[in-house]
Structure 1
Amino acid sequence: MTTPNIVWTRIDERLLHGQIRITWGKHTEANLILVANDDSAEGPNAAFMQAGMKASAGGEYAVRFFSIQKTIDVIHNASSAQKIFILCNSPTDVARLVEGGVPITHCNVGNMHFHEGKRQISKTVSIDAKDIDAFERMEKLGVTCTVQNTPDQTPVNVLELAATNE
């Protein structure tokens, strides 16, 4: 079992899109984008979702679509040459990865849109009690979670933001 070379982990409800390729992919020097998401890996619209996301990658990155469980099961088989950018659409999924043994130490929180029952804590991030629970679980396991929409912005701890925007 090897330690995978995870260069970045991001929560973005939109999953793989142009900003990921252009901004974050280059910033992190990733060569593999791993979309860890049950729906895009195995859901009824998986083929459609994957086609759109592969097009967004622009051929610059290898792209994989794994369920959360498959990611947990195979991440330690990754080649050391793979610079892995893990992309999830919720903090619950990232918490499941961490609790399953995926060695994530930092989680970048990008876009979590406002939905009924959520409250906005930054321009691009809205959360509910389930999200806070997931962030707290990750923090207890040593994962730093920061809101930072683009690399030029200053990262801010998500739980501190949540506490100051109650």
Structure 2
Amino acid sequence: MTGPQIVWTRIDERLLHGQIRITWGKHSEANLILVANDEAAEGPNAAFMQAGMKASAGGEYAVRFFSIQKTIDVIHKASPKQKIFILCNNPTDVARLVEGGVPITHCNVGNMHYHDGKRQIAKTVSVDKTDILAFEKMVEKGVTCTVQNTPDQTPINVLELAKTAA
């Protein structure tokens, strides 16, 4: 059996919303969006979060909400027919997936909002030391990490951006 067919992995603090469905879903040719996020899968507001995200998917995609650990545990059982778009809201979760054996080769960084303690490295991306360490772990495991808000933009290496913005 071959591994899971992961067609796109994206970090977007907003998780599943209209831009994902309209732009990235079509671009990636995914048929399943996997929201890998502990809070959305099992948190106290999970049902509310899931309802809003399912509505954003517009019925065009199968949508799953798994914790990071459940994603690691079950991703290799995916059907070969599933073209999986993994969606996380921070680089630490993607790094955990990679370290757990999820075969991610590219991580697209879209929206990581500015918060206290973070510095802006691109129009829609702000990072702190924890984020940088997570990206470094991914790169060490062979994952390409690029900032690209929409498919028509040129992808830019996230660690290069972080160095020049230092």
Decide: shared fold, TM above 0.5.
yes
Which consecutive unaligned segments of at least 5 residues does structure 1 have?
none
Question: Where does residue 18 of structure 1 map in the other structure?
Answer: 18
Question: Where does residue 91 of structure 1 map in the other structure?
Answer: 91
Report the secondary structure of 1:9's partner residue. Answer: strand
Taking every aligned residue pair, what percent have the same amino acid on both sides? 86
Which consecutive unaligned segments of at least 5 residues does structure 2 have?
none
Alpha-carbon RMSD across the aligned residues, in angstroms, is 0.5
Question: Where does residue 62 of structure 2 map in the other structure?
Answer: 62
Which letter does structure 1 place at the counterpart of 2:52? G
Question: Where does residue 137 of structure 2 map in the other structure?
Answer: 137
Residue 40 of structure 1 contacts residue 65 of structure 1 at CA under 8 Å; is this kept in 2?
yes
Q: What displacement does 1:158 show?
A: 0.1
Distance 1:66 1:158 in 2: 26
Residue 2 of structure 1 contacts residue 78 of structure 1 at CA under 8 Å; is this kept in 2?
no
Question: Where does residue 153 of structure 1 map in the other structure?
Answer: 153
Would you say how many aligned residue pairs link Structure 1 and Structure 2?
Answer: 166
Instruction: Name the TM-score, length of structure 2 as normaliser.
Output: 0.99
Distance 1:164 1:28 in 2: 29
Q: What displacement does 1:130 show?
A: 0.1
Question: Where does residue 47 of structure 1 map in the other structure?
Answer: 47
Residue 2 of structure 1 contacts residue 77 of structure 1 at CA under 8 Å; is this kept in 2?
no
Q: What displacement does 1:93 show?
A: 0.1
Distance 2:165 2:129 in 1: 13
Q: What displacement does 1:2 show?
A: 3.7
Distance 1:13 1:2 in 2: 31
Which letter does structure 2 place at the counterpart of 1:86? I
Distance 1:27 1:88 in 2: 18
Any runs of at least 4 consecutive aligned residues in structure 1 with deviations exceeding 2 A, and if so which?
none
